Amino acid sequence: MAFSKARHRLVEVPSGRVHLVEQGTGPLVLLLHGFPESWYSWRHQLPALADAGFRAAAIDLRGYGRSSKPRDVRDYRMLAHVSDNVAVVRALGEETATVVGHDVGSPIAAASALLRPEVFTSVALLGVPYTPPGGPRPTLAFAQMGGEEEFYVAYFQEPGRAEAEIEPDVRGWLAGFYAGGAPTFVPPGGTMRDRFAGTAPPAWLTEADLDVYAGEFERTGLTGALGRYRNFDRDWEDLAAWRGAPIVQPSLFVGGELDPSTTWMADAIKAFPVTLPGLAASHILEGCGHWVQQERPAEVNRILVDWLRQDAAT
């Protein structure tokens, strides 16, 4: 099925609207993108899932694209994203869905499954492994990472700081960020751009693809997208009742061998037998970086479709 058959929709949710692109008919699969992306990061998966007999819906997270962009940073907390996802499922006329997330979309998918298991009956996580709520306060932990360098999530905390770096040249910054494999640390007194200056755009990203991403962020700015990172301490408080809780639904993990998330979060992957007792498989794609579903679309499509069919048959 051609990607041209995908359909754009705006659906109403209690907090405003969510823009999504859907394709196919059958059991619903909700696709959640990462930073700094949009629904477009699932362009290779939409037709593949539709061909396999599923109804795939890739949303713009709140703060991105044509979805609502609240001004209050507190409106980007995890509970708000979970509420959006439930509302989208209902707006599409469904009672249940599989939720699939990549990068920041992965923890949102995990929280959706954890908090609303009656709606999200299975979950696939790409790039970022599941870690149950709990542990130390996030901003305190981030401040201790990297030694003299600054962990990128800490760098994102101050409103306006990252925006001042990115927004004067959105297209150039995005090209470097994608090519750099999502840089993890910022040099002392420097910027994220210092980490990927002079790098060529990655082979998986065409000029037309980059135009799509850049066009959206040039129109919307980055503040809404960065709001997710500025709520990690609130999430830590909001989800206190679920500290240490496993996700028991059928689950899947796909990561890249060269993705920092699969190395500095290696202990989270080792803990999957306890934290994801319903895990069907954990795949680490050899030679693959952070942007797994765009770098290796055919391989990721096969893994997702096989898992979805297996889950549907049980």
List, by residue number, the catalytic residues: 103, 290
In 3-state terms, what secondary structure has residue 188?
Answer: coil
Where in the chain does DSSP place strands (E)?
7-13, 16-23, 28-32, 55-59, 97-102, 120-126, 150-151, 185-186, 251-256, 279-285
- In angstroms, the CA 132 to CA 259 distance is 20
C-alpha of 267 from chain center? 20
Q: Indicate the pairing of strand 97-102 with strand 28-32.
A: parallel
CA 255 – CA 102 distance, rounded (Å): 9
Count Cβ atoms below 10 Å from residue 93 Cβ, excluding itself: 7
Q: How do strand 97-102 and strand 120-126 relate by DSSP bridges?
A: parallel
Rounded Cα distance between 148 and 24, Å, is 49
Exposed (0-12), middle (13-18) or buried (19+): which is 70, by Cβ within 10 Å? Answer: middle
